[in-house]
């Protein structure tokens, strides 16, 4: 997907509605990608660690959709019944207005800092409780080997199936499909999602996904004790964050190409919302 100056149509309308709801006013919702929409997109990209080019490609689109999904999910936690589709349509707008009215906020259908704090106040320490996105699940799955039937790795007493799911007591599998394996993977990722959501971090969706991938691969203890987490909390430079990711490329004291590729791809996901697997060399 590419939306830029001169683009028209439904997707432009979605971009404009989403931007307006999260306080990046495109100065109109007219399905026409003009200079004001470009400016609003650039502001959104700048504040979400995206490439600031004013063009809505797949990465910017995904972060924008996930941002509205988080708002919809938060509204549902207050008793609303929205479809979590990432589109700031009329139903989401009406529910947001009702929420603002009930909590004595400015009822304008815009998630400004005051509304954001009220909407996400029940979360554990962070501004938003995230779930891992489908892009994040697919990224992790792509780095894990898929096994349709149970197998036992050399250093484990447990059998594993799918994308690294450890078969526990009471579970019985003869074989599973790729779809079933991804469902198991997402279930396994939930404990990592819950733990990362308890850490005070101000992340975008793509940054959250990168951290979950790192923790799933390296371990939650490794994340908690890492300079990566320390530097994210300290708002360190993006170059320092890159160095922190790449510190975790060694296996048995030697740099391992597969780990290097994963860490670098996680960093690019963190920085640019790029979920592409890149087979780079050292």
Catalytic residues: 144
Which among 72, 114, 78, 79 is positioned nearest to 93, based on CA atoms?
A: 72
What would you report as the CA-atom Rg of the chain, rounded to the nearest whole angstrom? 20
Which among 239, 204, 231, 207 is positioned nearest to 70, based on CA atoms?
A: 204
Joined together, the tokens standing for residue 24 give 């990046």
Task: Say how far apart CA 282 and CA 264 lie, in whole Å.
Answer: 10
**20 in Cβ contact with 110 (< 8 Å):** yes
Which residues have CB under 8 Å from 259's CB, separation 6+?
248, 249, 250, 251
Cα dihedral 87, 90, 94, 100 in deg (nearest 10): 50
Task: Say how far apart CA 39 and CA 41 lie, in whole Å.
Answer: 5
Its sign, for the CA torsion 252, 255, 257, 263, is: positive
**166 in Cβ contact with 160 (< 8 Å):** yes
Task: Say how far apart CA 232 and CA 225 lie, in whole Å.
Answer: 12
> Helices 10-21 and 90-102: crossing angle, nearest 10°?
10
């Amino acid at each position: 997907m590419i939306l830029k100056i001169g683009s028209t149509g439904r997707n432009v309308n979605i971009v404009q509605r989403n931007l307006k709801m999260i306080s990046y006013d495109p100065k109109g919702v007219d399905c026409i990608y003009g200079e004001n929409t470009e400016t609003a997109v650039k502001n959104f990209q700048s504040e979400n660690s995206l490439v600031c080019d004013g063009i809505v490609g797949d990465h910017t689109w995904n972060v924008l959709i996930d941002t509205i999904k988080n708002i919809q999910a938060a509204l549902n936690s207050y008793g609303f019944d929205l479809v979590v589709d990432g589109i700031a349509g009329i139903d989401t707008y009406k529910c947001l207005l009702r929420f603002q009215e009930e909590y004595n906020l400015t009822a304008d259908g815009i998630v400004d800092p005051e509304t954001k704090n009220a909407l996400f106040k029940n979360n554990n320490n962070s501004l938003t409780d995230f779930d891992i996105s489908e892009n994040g699940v697919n990224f992790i799955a792509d780095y894990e080997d898929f096994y349709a039937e149970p197998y036992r790795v050399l250093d484990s007493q447990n059998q594993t199936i799918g994308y690294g799911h450890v078969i526990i007591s009471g579970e019985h599998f003869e074989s599973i499909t790729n779809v079933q394996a991804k469902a198991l993977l997402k279930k396994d990722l939930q404990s990592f999602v819950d733990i990362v959501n308890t850490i005070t971090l101000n992340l975008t969706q793509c940054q959250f996904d990168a951290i979950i991938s790192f923790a799933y691969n390296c371990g939650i203890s490794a994340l908690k004790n890492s300079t990566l987490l320390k530097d994210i909390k300290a708002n360190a430079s993006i170059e320092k964050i890159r160095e922190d990711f790449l510190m975790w490329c060694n296996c048995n004291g030697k740099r391992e190409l597969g780990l290097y590729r994963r860490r670098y791809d996680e960093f690019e996901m963190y920085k640019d919302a790029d979920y592409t697997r890149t087979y780079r060399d050292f």
